[in-house]
């Protein structure tokens, strides 16, 4: 069976009637070409001697192939016309007497289907035409296959189980073989949330990933200034191509475009933007250092990809929203399951004493507000129950109350526990974790034992209280939070501040509304009520009949100083119920004197009725602030003690390096003013 080449040599074409346009300004050569083509069975639609004439013939006849001289009369070249042919998928073959390396390099970028050097033979022309037709037919099929594979690759890149920044980087990798770029910026805007990343060419086939923070650093912009300049750009939902003078004009009109172009030495931009039904905006912006890098063919490709990318994005964003809601619901359910046995009201706060009644009134006043509350008191006085009561009586009662015990968390995990972390943020961070502040969004967070929080983390907590935002460990963006804070401590925070273990500014932020919980020994009339309450609670739990409590046992309970407060009383009654046979009144499992020894192994044996030893058992109570004036006075005394402790460290030096003003982070004049107001005299 004869091949294509055999037929061409015999003077016959395998593409009978194929329409050919000749662009050649030397009429002798043009006539020779026409004769060769007509003899081989081709149709010549015309001969053009200039680019304009070629453009007219192209519009009128739409040839199947073009024979194209590179250099025409008047210094005109056919390179721009070749790009037009490429954009319209019309194969073309260059004919030129200039075959040097410089010319070959220049025309290579236009991707011709062949090159014939003058002078030529008939069979050279026919061979080259047949090869060009063959390559063109197969290139169209290949192009369709590649474009289909690109659609699949983009769908897979967006659908992979990765964070969105990684998804965008994968999209850039898929597009790179099809659309050239020296810089590509991809972003997905979802209202207040923007996910973005960039690729920047650092070598022939090497790219540096630029995250948003790095992009701002390289352009010298702040996040606020970038958002401001970005808002000045015209809105677009489609495709825009700016090359050469058009791009230069855009740089003059828009400051952001100018800054990006100058930073990366860019001369052309191809921008594709599409919106989704969820209101999100997906943008891909290609940049090149070559003014003629982008062709109409690239625009056509993006237009054909738009619909499939939009559908994929809408599906993924819908799944993301469902997953987010499910994750949030799962977190809340898990947390509530852990808390299901704890009531959140005054129901478990047992007592009728005046001091407890005063605390109830304070809780009722502050609960409806969003004010930060500091619960103070000895260990075991029921701070968590009062935190729950405040939450239950607030407008946030339908959201979570999330509790964190700062004393029980390992030092290296407190920050992760409070603010969460991203996958890979540190060794062992195998997956992303949501922190307690994020979990408590629109609800309440209870920070128990706040006095145990390390100093470096106190600064981050202060930022949350002031700015209402934080970052996950390993995260690259801020997270807004709406959380009501209730803190609790059994420490004297004023003393901790004076000794430099607690930040003064954080203390002020936390003690907006301080509440002192009375120790059990200060409300003895509540002891019988609490004892009966716990006896009934644990009897029901253990399936025993509810016992009474003998007068002798009550007397012993009333005579004890209760260093462990209500928690200690609850433990003792639980022990008594365990050993009880259910036939008589409750008796204590061990003497309260022994209980003291167990809880305080370093102390001497006290006599319960010994007033001297009894006083030794009791920690110094915190003075309760009864009015706002008391609160202000306490704050001033704390500040005074703190400044005095720093002045002692500096031997009274206020100004200069190592002075008190420097250590406190204040201007010397400000410190001197505060000292005068607080009655502190300098040396």
> In the predicted model, what is the mean pLDDT of residues 372-384?
92
End-to-end CA distance of the chain: 113
Instruction: Pull the structure tokens for residue 114.
Output: 């062949």
pLDDT higher than 80, residue 417: yes
Greatest mean pLDDT among 44-48, 229-233, 529-533: 44-48
pLDDT higher than 50, residue 611: no
C-alpha span between 140 and 378 (Å, rounded): 82
Query: Picking from 83-92, 210-219, 343-352, 416-425, which range would have the lowest pLDDT averaged per residue?
Result: 343-352
C-alpha span between 82 and 92 (Å, rounded): 7
> In the predicted model, what is the mean pLDDT of residues 326-350?
59
Give the contacts of 544 (CB within 8 A, at least 6 positions apart). 577, 580, 582
The reported pLDDT for the residue numbered 383 is 92
Give the contacts of 213 (CB within 8 A, at least 6 positions apart). 476
Tell me what the pLDDT averaged over the chain comes to.
80
pLDDT level of residue 295 (50, 70, 90 thresholds): confident
| Integer angstrom CA distances of residue 238 from 45, 270, 274, 317 | 37, 11, 6, 20
The reported pLDDT for the residue numbered 291 is 86
> In the predicted model, what is the mean pLDDT of residues 145-160?
83
What φ, ψ does residue 420 adopt, rounded to 5°?
Answer: 80, 175
The reported pLDDT for the residue numbered 22 is 95
CATH class of segment(s) 520-617: mainly alpha
Which of the two residues, 11 and 86, has the higher pLDDT score? Answer: 86
The reported pLDDT for the residue numbered 206 is 65
pLDDT higher than 60, residue 600: no
| Integer angstrom CA distances of residue 474 from 320, 436, 504 | 21, 16, 28
Residue 196 burial (10 A CB sphere; 0-12, 13-18, 19+): middle
pLDDT higher than 60, residue 628: no
Bridge-partner residues for 487, per DSSP? 374, 447
C-alpha span between 615 and 527 (Å, rounded): 19
pLDDT higher than 80, residue 85: yes
Half-sphere exposure of 640 (CA within 13 A, CB side): 12
Instruction: Pull the structure tokens for residue 66.
Output: 């073009």
CA angle 184, 186, 187 (to 5 degrees): 155
C-alpha dihedral over 219, 220, 222, 228, to 10 degrees?
A: -60
CA angle 52, 56, 60 (to 5 degrees): 170
C-alpha span between 325 and 319 (Å, rounded): 10
> In the predicted model, what is the mean pLDDT of residues 642-649?
82
The reported pLDDT for the residue numbered 195 is 67
Cβ 387 vs Cβ 401: under 8 Å: yes
- Which option is the CATH number for 4-141: 3.90.1720.10, 3.40.50.2300, 3.40.50.620, 3.30.930.10? 3.40.50.2300
State percent of the chain over pLDDT 70: 82
pLDDT higher than 50, residue 604: no
pLDDT higher than 60, residue 2: no
Which of the two residues, 523 and 319, has the higher pLDDT score? Answer: 523
Which of the two residues, 157 and 324, has the higher pLDDT score? Answer: 157
The reported pLDDT for the residue numbered 500 is 86
pLDDT higher than 50, residue 527: yes
Give the contacts of 38 (CB within 8 A, at least 6 positions apart). 44
pLDDT tens digits, one per residue of 497-513: 888 889 988 998 998 99
Give the contacts of 96 (CB within 8 A, at least 6 positions apart). 69, 70, 71, 103, 115, 116, 117, 118
The reported pLDDT for the residue numbered 100 is 62
> In the predicted model, what is the mean pLDDT of residues 508-537?
90
Question: Does the N-terminal peptide bond of residue 119 adopt cis geometry, omega within 30 degrees of 0?
Answer: yes
pLDDT higher than 70, residue 331: no
Sheet of 183-190: strand order equals 207-211, 193-201, 183-190, 281-288, 268-275, 239-243
Pairing of strands 469-470, 479-480: antiparallel
Residue 227 burial (10 A CB sphere; 0-12, 13-18, 19+): exposed
Bridge-partner residues for 216, per DSSP? none
C-alpha span between 638 and 508 (Å, rounded): 10
The reported pLDDT for the residue numbered 5 is 40
pLDDT level of residue 610 (50, 70, 90 thresholds): very low
* 628-649 and 668-677 helices, crossing angle to 10°: 130
Nearest to 15 by CA among 122, 114, 132: 132
pLDDT level of residue 150 (50, 70, 90 thresholds): confident
pLDDT level of residue 683 (50, 70, 90 thresholds): low
pLDDT level of residue 484 (50, 70, 90 thresholds): very high
Q: Give kind and range of the element (H or E) at residue 4.
A: helix 4-9
pLDDT tens digits, one per residue of 402-413: 988 888 777 777
Instruction: Please state whether the predicted TM-score (pTM) of the whole model is above 0.75.
Output: no
Long-range pairs, 70-76, Cβ under 8 A, ≥24: 70/94, 70/95, 70/96, 70/98, 70/103, 70/107, 71/96, 71/98, 72/23, 72/25, 73/25, 73/49, 74/50, 76/50, 76/51
- The third-level CATH classification (topology) of the domain covering 160-319 is Beta-Lactamase (3.30.450)
The reported pLDDT for the residue numbered 362 is 93
Would you give the DSSP letter of residue 526? Answer: G
The reported pLDDT for the residue numbered 485 is 95
- Which option is the CATH number for 342-516: 3.30.70.600, 3.40.50.300, 1.20.140.10, 3.40.120.10? 3.40.50.300
Matching residue, tokens 């970028």: 109
pLDDT higher than 80, residue 161: no
pLDDT tens digits, one per residue of 542-563: 878 777 788 888 888 888 888 8
> In the predicted model, what is the mean pLDDT of residues 238-250?
83
State percent of the chain over pLDDT 90: 17
What φ, ψ does residue 76 adopt, rounded to 5°?
Answer: -80, 140
> In the predicted model, what is the mean pLDDT of residues 249-268?
89
Name the 3-class secondary structure at 184.
strand
């Amino acid at each position: 069976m004869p091949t294509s080449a055999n037929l061409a040599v015999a003077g016959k074409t395998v593409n009978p009637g194929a329409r050919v346009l000749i662009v050649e300004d030397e009429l002798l050569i043009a006539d020779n070409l026409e004769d060769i083509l007509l003899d081989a069975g081709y149709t010549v639609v015309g001969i053009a001697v200039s680019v304009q004439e070629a453009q007219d013939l192209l519009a009128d006849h739409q040839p199947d192939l073009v024979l194209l001289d590179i250099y025409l009369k008047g210094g005109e070249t056919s390179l721009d016309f070749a790009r037009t042919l490429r954009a319209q998928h019309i194969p073309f073959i260059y004919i030129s007497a200039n075959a040097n390396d410089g010319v070959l390099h220049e025309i290579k970028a236009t991707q011709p289907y062949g090159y014939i050097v003058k002078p030529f033979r008939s069979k050279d022309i026919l061979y080259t035409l047949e090869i060009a037709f063959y390559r063109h037919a197969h290139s169209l099929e290949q192009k369709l296959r590649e474009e289909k594979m690109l659609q699949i690759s983009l769908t897979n890149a967006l659908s992979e189980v990765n964070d969105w920044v990684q998804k965008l980087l994968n999209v850039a990798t898929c597009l790179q073989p099809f659309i050239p770029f020296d810089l590509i910026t991809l972003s997905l805007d979802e209202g207040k949330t923007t996910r973005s990343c960039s690729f920047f060419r650092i070598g022939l086939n090497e790219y540096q990933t630029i995250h948003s923070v790095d992009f701002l650093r390289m352009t010298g912009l702040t996040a606020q200034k970038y958002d401001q300049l970005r808002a000045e750009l015209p809105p677009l939902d489609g495709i825009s191509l700016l090359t050469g003078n058009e791009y230069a004009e855009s740089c003059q009109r828009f400051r952001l475009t100018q800054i990006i172009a100058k930073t990366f030495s860019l001369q052309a931009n191809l921008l594709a933007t599409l919106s989704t039904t969820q209101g999100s905006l997906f943008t891909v912006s290609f940049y090149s250092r070559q003014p003629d890098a982008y062709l109409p063919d690239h625009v056509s490709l993006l237009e054909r990809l738009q619909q499939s990318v939009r559908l994929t994005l809408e599906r993924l964003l819908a799944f993301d929203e469902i997953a987010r809601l499910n994750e949030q619901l799962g977190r809340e359910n898990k947390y509530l399951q852990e808390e299901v046995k704890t009531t959140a009201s005054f129901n478990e706060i047992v007592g009728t004493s005046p001091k407890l009644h005063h605390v109830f009134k304070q809780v009722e006043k502050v609960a409806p507000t969003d004010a930060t509350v500091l619960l103070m008191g000895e260990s075991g006085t029921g701070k968590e129950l009062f935190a729950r009561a405040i939450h239950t009586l607030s407008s946030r009662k339908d959201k979570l109350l999330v509790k964190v015990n700062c004393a029980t968390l390992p030092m290296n995990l407190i920050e992760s526990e409070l603010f969460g972390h991203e996958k890979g943020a540190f060794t062992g961070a195998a997956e992303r974790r949501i922190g307690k502040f994020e979990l408590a969004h629109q609800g309440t967070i209870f920070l128990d034992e706040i006095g145990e929080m390390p100093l470096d983390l106190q600064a981050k907590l202060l930022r949350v209280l002031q700015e209402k935002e934080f970052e996950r460990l390993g995260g690259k963006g801020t997270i807004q939070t709406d959380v009501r804070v209730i803190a609790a401590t059994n420490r004297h925070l004023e003393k901790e501040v004076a000794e430099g273990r607690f930040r003064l500014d954080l203390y002020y932020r936390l003690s907006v509304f301080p509440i002192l919980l009375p120790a059990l020994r200060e409300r003895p009339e509540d002891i019988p009520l609490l004892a009966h309450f716990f006896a009934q609670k644990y009897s029901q739990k253990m399936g025993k009949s509810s016992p009474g409590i003998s007068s002798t046992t009550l007397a012993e309970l009333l005579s004890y100083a209760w260093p462990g407060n209500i928690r200690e009383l609850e433990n003792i009654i639980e022990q008594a119920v365990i050993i009880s046979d259910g036939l008589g009144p409750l008796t204590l499992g061990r003497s309260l004197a022994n209980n003291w020894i167990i809880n305080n192994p370093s102390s001497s044996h006290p006599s319960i009725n010994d007033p001297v030893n009894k006083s030794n058992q009791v920690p110094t109570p915190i003075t309760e602030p009864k009015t706002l004036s008391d609160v202000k006075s306490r704050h001033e005394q704390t500040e005074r003690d703190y400044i005095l402790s720093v002045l002692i460290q500096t031997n009274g030096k206020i100004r200069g390096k190592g002075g008190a003003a420097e250590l406190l982070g204040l201007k010397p004049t400000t410190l001197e003013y505060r000292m005068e107001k607080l009655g502190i005299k300098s040396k």
